[in-house]
Every structure is written in C-alpha cells, then in structure tokens.
Structure 1
Amino acid sequence: MKLIERLATATDARTKDLLAHNRLYFNITANPDGRIAGTRANAGGFDLNRDFVTASQPETRAMRQISIDKQPVVMLDLHGYVNGTLIEPTTPPHGETAPPSPHIPRDLRHKPHPGLLQA
C-alpha cells in the first residue's frame, strides 16, 4: 500500500516517466476470505498458492486470466505468511506432487530458509 501511495503522490520525473510509459497492476489481496478469517485457505478451504495447476478456485482463475490477458513482461509476487509456513510446495506434508526444482540447493528443499522465519 505504501508503494501505491508513493506512486500516486510522487512528483519526481523518474516516477512520472515510469507511470507514463508503463502499466502497473496491483492485486492487494488475492484471498479476501482468508485475510478476514486469518487463514491461508479461502472460503472453500483451498490454499490458493497450491491451486495454480488445477485452477479449481475462482480467485486462482481470475489471477491466471489477468496474466493471460495482460501478458506482463515483469510480474512480482510479494506476499508472505508467518509461523514458518513458507516451505517448498513439494515437501512434506504436501508430498512429491512435482519434481523439486534443480535450482534449489538440496539442503534447502526440505527445510525453510532461516531468513524466512524472521518477522
């Protein structure tokens, strides 16, 4: 929200040029039900971060469709969740649903990075 406010109120030439030559899209909350309930799951009980392959939930389908329609050159996913739940999605308890990324060092695949657990 602070970034949006800064962009909306900026008067410097660099920001004005950025806004004049680019389209910026912001999804403030991809999971409004979960935000209100304080859970990762939406109202249907699905963790939307694990739904991009099947796109069974309306929130996931909407986000995918925006990506398809807009064809962004750059896309940032800046989100997080505390209490040590930031884990590789193919590790326990989720099971080996997909091959682990070869770009993730083996010793980091099955345990969260210490920096991710800091508030």
Structure 2
Amino acid sequence: MATEDELDRAFLALADPVRRTIVARLSRGSATVNELADLFPISKQAVSKHIQVLEQAGLVTRSRDAQRRPVHLAPERLEALTAWIDRYRLVREAQYRSLDALLGSSDPGAPPHHAPPDKEHPS
C-alpha cells in the first residue's frame, strides 16, 4: 500500500494533462523523450521536466539502451493507486447494494419513494 506522501505525489503528477498523456502513451510501450516530445507543441526540455515529475512520483522509470534512454511506465505504482481508489469504490458500491436491497424489499404495491402520494382534490 502506498503512503500518503506517495499518493500525494502520484495524484499531483497525474493532475496535469500533459503528464496524463505521457502515461497513456507509455501504457502502449516505452518511448524516448524525443518520441514523447513529438506528441506536444512544447519544447523537449518541458517534456523532460514533466517526465521528471512522473519519475519523482514513481510512475515512470528510465533505463539505458546503448545511446537510447527510454522511459517506461511503472505499472506497480499505478496498481497501488488503483487499489487505493478501489478501496473507496467498493465501500460505496456496498452502500448502494444495501440501499437497492432495502428499496427492493418494500411493498411492491406502494408508490415509489420518490413520488409524492396522491392527494384528493376538494370539489
């Protein structure tokens, strides 16, 4: 499980649309900074800074392959974020299932809870 600080860094890193696009691209496979820079109308240096933020958040890693320095997605960190989100999603789904069961067990002849009861109008 990720610590609060790790979660903060990861979610802050993913708050930027450029960094989310980089993560989405890396989900299809590794890429160099130049390949990633081709996706954006910003400088290669700006893309490098975005990659550094993702790297500090533990969302990407870099390796050396001869002259190339490919950037790779770190799926284990994304799995930790997903696990954190799922913990709250599952609680909420259980609450909705309980509500559905409660509403489903009410008198089938009764009007739905959201509809106002019929009132007779005086003549």
Pick the TM interval, shorter chain.
under 0.3
Structure with the larger RCO, 1 or 2 (CA within 8 Å, 6+ apart):
2
Q: What TM-score, normalized to structure 1?
A: 0.23
Q: What TM-score, normalized to structure 2?
A: 0.23
Bigger strand share:
2
Bigger helix share:
2
- Greater C-alpha Rg: 2
